[in-house]
Amino acid sequence: MAEFSYEILAAILVIGFIVLLSVEYLWLYLLSRKNEERELLKREINNRIHAMIESYLYSPTSSSRAAELESLIQYIGDEAVKKDEAAAAFVELMHRASDIPSKKLDLLNVLYERLNPVLFYADILKKGNDSEKSYAARRLADFSATDHIEDIRVLLEDKHADVIYNAAMALSELGDMDSVVVFAKKYENNRRYSHRVLLELLQTFRGDRVQLIHRLYEECDTYVKATAVKAYTADHLEELAELYIDGLSSSEVNLKIACVKALAQLGNPKYEQKMEIALNDKNWVVRLAAVTGLEKIGTETALEALVRATQDEEWWVRNAAAKAIVTIDFHLVYVEKVLSGYDKYAADAVKNALYKQIKMNGGAFQ
Architecture per CATH, domain 236-366, reads as Alpha Horseshoe (1.25)
Q: Would you kindly state where each structural domain of the chain is located, as residue ranges?
A: 236-366
Cβ 72 vs Cβ 45: under 8 Å? no
* Rounded Cα distance, 126 and 132, in Å: 10
CB neighbour class for 43 (10 Å; exposed up to 12, middle 13-18, buried from 19): exposed
Distance of CA 4 to the CA centre of its chain: 66
Q: In this structure, which amino acid lies at residue 29?
A: Y
**Residue 8, helix vs strand vs coil:** helix
Closest residue by Cα to residue 258 from 202, 297, 300: 202
pTM for this prediction: 0.78
* Rounded Cα distance, 294 and 305, in Å: 8
Along the 366 residues of the chain, how does pLDDT read in single tens digits?
A: 445 577 777 778 888 888 888 888 878 777 777 777 778 888 898 999 999 999 999 999 999 999 999 999 999 999 999 999 999 998 888 888 888 888 888 999 999 999 999 999 999 999 999 999 999 999 999 999 999 999 999 999 998 989 999 999 999 999 999 999 999 988 777 666 678 889 999 999 999 999 999 999 999 999 999 999 999 999 999 999 999 999 999 999 999 999 999 999 999 999 999 999 999 999 999 999 999 999 999 899 999 999 899 889 998 998 899 888 888 877 777 777 777 776 776 777 776 776 676 665 555 445
